[in-house]
Structure 1
């Protein structure tokens, strides 16, 4: 109760944590509205691809034929080259992308090994690389099914298989029957929501550090207040304050910006798990730091870094895959990904693993904070 009273008396912090997220959601949602609009189109300029076929098998020829004669031929200009010429043309930018089909390409597909094919890219060709990677992936996935159905050593059947592979080369499906595209307002409502919840945690944990500097903590120690009661009290204050903040963000964005957060129960569970995770992390950090200025500096920098890595500033799908996998274990990134799944139509069952991970991380942080406070009390305040 003391932490909540102090928070509401601080008008600057109250404005920052309650009104700033709404303002930023409005600005970013409007600014990126077209790029995330479900009706928007992404244009891909045609590009040249050099191919070196070191396998010379029926399958490698089928792959080249599929790539050069399919619907993708409008944007992909295929050119057969030798290995040396391929590398030379890439360096001189005569071609934007290259594909090296290795000698065991066909055997690797038959034996389900790593596909013996390399994609070589030139500068500024990230989008083209994504297109070719998807082509190779879908070719390998469809290959086994068609190989079983139709032997590849017969002319008419080869043509039929080639036609089938071309037809199924690029497909699109939703992972959930109720899946909906994420709008820019939805994305930044979630992104700014988790960012400012982190800032709330930093502010409230800062009061914990301030108590140590102003000798309030020492006076608490001579009372009957236990370490567990102190940590739980701090944690409950952060949880309550954060839930009020999240509720206002959800309510305002739902009414004003028509943001669909998904199933209410799922949204509440995600919010609770994230707040528990972030609060436990904040209290653990607060148990180690004794100077408020130090914590504020670390907290501001840490919040910005977590926000950048967690996708609050830049959409997660623009990150490299290894960074997406790594950021999954950050409290804010984990929460944002669960919120986006909920917005897309997922129910609680589909985010259950993330929910349990988030709660588990929060409890681990809380236990570390409790152990740290017990150690400090025993050795420094005895």
Structure 2
């Protein structure tokens, strides 16, 4: 069997272009994807840094008096008028917005300054401000009418910027969430009345569960691309059989005293080593240049190697099955088409093209049982928890998948008198 293993490794090594593609193409794709999606899926506060100008054209005292005059003209009881006036006097919408942006945590990544509209436009043009939050004239009157008289709001806050960006979307979401929070508190009566309480400002950031590490998009790209290209190695090694079949190499092996199954096992072991090397190189290079897994311990890397070895074993089993199918099919194009369809299906359902969470629940469940999907899932858990118990069952499943493929491959493998 050793001679067959050596033969398959040398055959693969002979095509240097294919070797380079297998080893470095996933790395190149990972680097490109990281550059293309850099910061897009990063939810940390540090990823947003905006200088904002607040233009307050609202005259609170004037508009409060305007609202009081409006109440005096309404045909309601004096007691109701007095209650509404007291409530209106306690509500200062523009001050609440400024107070919100004065929050120390928020000021770390959205610092602001109060400026006039003309000055704000000039600062935006000069690049000193990224956005303008404009509180328009009549804002207090409009808010009071909306909250206390249940009239439709017609004077919204405006957010202006020179160009659209992810940071601007974040700012819009922050302001909208704050306004929604205020509306809810006003509706519940928590901001008005005798016991006026300071509104609870919405808190940004992410919730970190103790003992659980985060999983980022760079790590997903590394896992997804390495597992996908490992599956393609199974197809590549199996398709080398086409040349050997055409040159009657396999027929000559059958005429010798060599066990024909050694031919199959040689390709199986060759696939195991090649896919193992490909994944280890991918993880090592991306870690070296991109620091995809920062601050991880030796125990973590040992676990990663164990998972990679288990997945490489399943890839070798798949290669054995592909090899047997290639030998029994007369049309090599049909065999190549079948293998490509299988690998691409594994890639889609196993989350190699996009995360499993983006699929319907039914397909997510299916993907978690496909080798690359299961490997992706267990690696994510290993990154987050580093618990050995989480490795046992998935590795057993991967080994069972390998054994099932190998048994089927041996069963349909041609023997003497069947070729």
TM-score of the superposed pair, with normalisation by structure 2 = 0.56
1:184 is the counterpart of 2:184: no
- Which residue does 1:315 correspond to in 2? 355
Q: Which residue of 2 aligns with 1:339?
A: 379
Structure 1 Cα separation of the partners of residues 401 and 289 of structure 2: 34
Q: Using the alignment, how far apart are the partners of 2:353 and 2:242 within structure 1?
A: 29
Report matched runs for 1:250-261 at 5 Å: 250-260=283-293
Equivalenced residues, count: 249
**Alpha-carbon distance in structure 1 between the residues aligned to 2:269 and 2:323:** 15
CA drift of 1:336 comes to: 1.4
345, 369, 377: which is aligned to 2:415? 377
| Residues in 2 aligned to 1:229 and 1:348: alpha-carbon distance in whole angstroms | 35
**Runs of 4 or more above 3 Å deviation:** 171-174
The CA distance in 2 between the partners of 1:348 and 1:292, in whole Å, is 43
Aligned mates of 2:374, 2:319 — CA distance in 1:
16
Aligned residues of 1:191 and 1:311 also touching (Cα < 8 A): yes
CA apart distance, 1:172: 5.9
Partner Cα separation in structure 1 for residue 305 and residue 265 of structure 2:
21
1:275 alignment counterpart: 312
Hey, what's the Cα distance between the residues in 2 that align with 1:207 and 1:20?
Answer: 20
Distance 1:276 1:363 in 2: 9
Give, in whole Å, the separation in 1 of the partners of 2:231 and 2:282. Answer: 14
The equivalent residue for 2:246 is 213
TM-superposed deviation, 1:243? 1.3
State yes or no: 1:241 paired with 2:241: no
Unaligned runs of 5+ in 1: 43-170
Structure-to-structure mapping, 1:94-133, within 5 angstroms: none
Q: Please say if residues 209 and 286 of structure 1, whose CA atoms lie closer than 8 Å, have aligned partners that are also in contact.
A: no
Report the CA distance between 1:202 and its aligned residue: 1.0
1:329 corresponds to: 369
Rounded to whole Å, the distance in 2 between the matches of 1:2 and 1:243 is: 18
Residue aligning to 1:87: none
Q: Is the contact between residue 230 and residue 279 of structure 2 (CA under 8 Å) also seen in structure 1?
A: yes
CA contact (8 A) 2:286 2:292 kept: yes
Question: Contact conserved, 1:286 with 1:295, CA < 8 A, in 2?
Answer: no
C-alpha distance in structure 1 between counterparts of 2:16 and 2:217, whole Å: 30
Q: TM-score, normalised by structure 1?
A: 0.61
For 1:378 and 1:365, how far apart are their aligned partners in 2?
A: 22
Cα-to-partner distance string for 1:314-360 (whole Å, 9 max, x where unaligned): 11111121111011121111111122222223233212111110111
Mapping for residues 1-382 of structure 1, pairs under 5 Å: 1-39=6-44, 174=209, 177-260=210-293, 263-289=300-326, 290=329, 291-373=331-413, 376-381=414-419
For 2:356 and 2:222, the matched residues in 1 are separated by: 14
Are 1:274 and 1:331, in contact at CA under 8 Å, matched by a contact in 2?
A: yes
Q: Equivalent residue of 1:33, what SS?
A: coil
Q: Say whether the 8 Å CA contact 1:38–1:183 is kept in structure 2.
A: no
Please state whether the residue corresponding to 1:377 is helix, strand or coil: coil
Q: Distance in 1 between matches of 2:38 and 2:364?
A: 23
Q: CA deviation at 1:173?
A: 6.5
Q: Distance in 2 between matches of 1:223 and 1:189?
A: 45
Equivalent position SS for 2:415: helix
Give the Cα–Cα distance (whole angstroms) in 1 for the partners of residues 260 and 43 of structure 2. Answer: 52
